[in-house]
Amino acid sequence: MVTTRRVVAVAVLLAAPAGAQPNMGPPAVGVVQAARTPITETDQFIGRVEAVSRVALVARVTAFLDRRLFREGSEVKQDDLLYSLEQGPFQADFMAKQASLEQVNALLLNANQTLSRQQALLNTPAGQRSNYDQAVAQQRSQAAQVLAAQANLATSKINLDYTQIHAPITGKISRTTVTEGNVVGPTSGTLATIVSQDPMYVVFPIASRAALDLRQRYAGHGGFSAVKVQIMLPNGRVYGQDGKLDYVDPSISASTDTLNARAVLPNPLLASSQADGMQNGTTRELVDGEFVQVLLQGVTPIEVLGVPRAAVLSDQQGDYVYTLDPQNHAQQTRVHLGQSTASTAAVTAGLTEGQTVIVEGIQRVRPGIAVVPGPASAPPPAPAPHAG
């Protein structure tokens, strides 16, 4: 009896067509409903970090460089003494100009007294008009010499002050190009450069068409104040400080058809810079001249018809999703995408609110086949709250 059953089973297997698969039934898929959801609009550009202020230090008098009073690459404060030049010759000149001023002041005093006496004698028999006129001319001449001496003294004081070069701004200073013992002057070029650190600018070009779109999108929502600026650092990490737009070029470049926009971002000291000992705790994340990716984000979310990003497929004809008809047959539906996020695809055309979209099990789906739908394990886009 056992032998007969085995023979029958073998006969059945031999009679089955080669490659036949057991009937598994329609594939199971996870679905969501296309729903209106709020998203934050984001536009991405390539930009460069720029310092708000940059100063090239130049000697304004010719003298020997006595001392350099800063550490190269460190941060300096406004009015810090950075270079000290030889002061002896300038101090001597200042003292000589002081003596000249004292001398002409004494002559002016004598001229004033002479003028007073001649004026008193003018209405007496002993007075002569010519003597009075001569005294007036002498007094005015001495007064002019006093003014010239005061100007010479002021010039000498300015030159003496120029022997000490102070920081005009707060920022990080470069290495020095001239060392102690060398003669420097106005023709010596830049001694060092100071670059401000906090805040920083980020300048980025925008195509004219994109600029028009941004203007139309945010003009009614506050303009610059309706946009939040974030940047992505070269290592792919989003910078932890948000910025604001503060300037857009008034004209478009004829050669590139772009205009430059500028954002300003904080650039505080890193908390770890004190521990790592770098530059006496003056390490900051943003560096002048650094390339970054600029992300312009709308402050107020907009409402779009959204589906999960995982539901969107692409081929040579464009983007599409699989939707279900009333009989649970999969249909390939072409869609047009708008401003989207990493998790939500905003659909501008091709879908209507409430349509069922396949999100999971798409690899088992073909157009026209029957499927067994069920709720997707991943949550769908959060629906937008209804007004009123």
**What are the tens digits of pLDDT across the range 180-215?**
999 999 999 999 999 999 999 999 999 988 888 888
Query: Are the CB atoms for 267 and 285 separated by under 8 Å?
Result: yes
Query: Would you state the pLDDT for residue 272?
Result: 60
Query: Would you state the pLDDT for residue 176?
Result: 94
The single-letter code of the amino acid at 204 is F
Query: Are the CB atoms for 362 and 312 separated by under 8 Å?
Result: no
Q: Give the span between the Cα atoms of 209 and 2, in whole angstroms.
A: 82
Query: Would you state the pLDDT for residue 10?
Result: 42
Query: pLDDT class for 127, splitting at 50, 70, 90?
Result: low
Query: Would you state the pLDDT for residue 334?
Result: 93
- Mean pLDDT value of segment 244-254: 89
Query: Would you state the pLDDT for residue 62?
Result: 94
Query: Would you state the pLDDT for residue 359?
Result: 93
Q: Which residue has the tokens 């720029």?
A: 50
Q: Quick one: CA torsion of 219, 223, 225, 229, rounded to 10 degrees?
A: 100
How far is the CA of 128 from the CAs of 110, 134, 142, 193, in angstroms? 19, 10, 22, 67
- Mean pLDDT value of segment 104-124: 84
Query: Would you state the pLDDT for residue 64?
Result: 95
The set of residues, in sequence order, having a beta carbon less than 8 Å from that of 100 and lying 6+ positions away, is 149, 152, 153
Query: pLDDT class for 175, splitting at 50, 70, 90?
Result: very high
State percent of the chain over pLDDT 90: 48
The hierarchical CATH code for the domain 43-52+197-298 is 2.40.30.170
How far is the CA of 278 from the CAs of 200, 234, 281, in angstroms? 20, 21, 6
Query: pLDDT class for 275, splitting at 50, 70, 90?
Result: very low
Q: Give the span between the Cα atoms of 326 and 323, in whole angstroms.
A: 10
What are 288-334's pLDDT values in tens digits?
Answer: 999 999 988 877 777 888 899 889 999 988 999 999 999 999 999 99
Query: Would you state the pLDDT for residue 380?
Result: 56
pLDDT of 378 strictly over 70? no
pLDDT of 167 strictly over 80? yes
Q: Give the span between the Cα atoms of 197 and 77, in whole angstroms.
A: 11
- Give the dihedral sign, CA 10/12/17/22: negative
State percent of the chain over pLDDT 70: 87
Query: Would you state the pLDDT for residue 210?
Result: 84
Fold of 87-162: Helix Hairpins (1.10.287)
pLDDT of 9 strictly over 80? no
Query: Would you state the pLDDT for residue 382?
Result: 52
**pTM, full prediction:** 0.68
Range in 11-15, 35-39, 183-187, 303-307 with the lowest mean pLDDT: 11-15
CATH class of 28-38+303-375: mainly beta
Beta strand 81-85 with 42-51 is unpaired
Query: Are the CB atoms for 347 and 337 separated by under 8 Å?
Result: yes
- The residue ranking higher by pLDDT, 296 or 89, is 89
Query: Would you state the pLDDT for residue 278?
Result: 47
pLDDT of 17 strictly over 70? no
Q: In the predicted model, what is the mean pLDDT of the chain? A: 84
Q: Give the span between the Cα atoms of 192 and 187, in whole angstroms.
A: 14
- The residue ranking higher by pLDDT, 138 or 17, is 138
Q: How many residues does the chain have?
A: 388
| Cβ neighbourhood burial of 349 (10 Å; 0-12, 13-18, 19+) | exposed
Q: Give the span between the Cα atoms of 86 and 163, in whole angstroms.
A: 7
Query: pLDDT class for 130, splitting at 50, 70, 90?
Result: confident
pLDDT of 37 strictly over 80? yes
- Domains of the chain: which residue ranges? 28-38+303-375, 43-52+197-298, 87-162
- Mean pLDDT value of segment 4-27: 51
The single-letter code of the amino acid at 258 is T
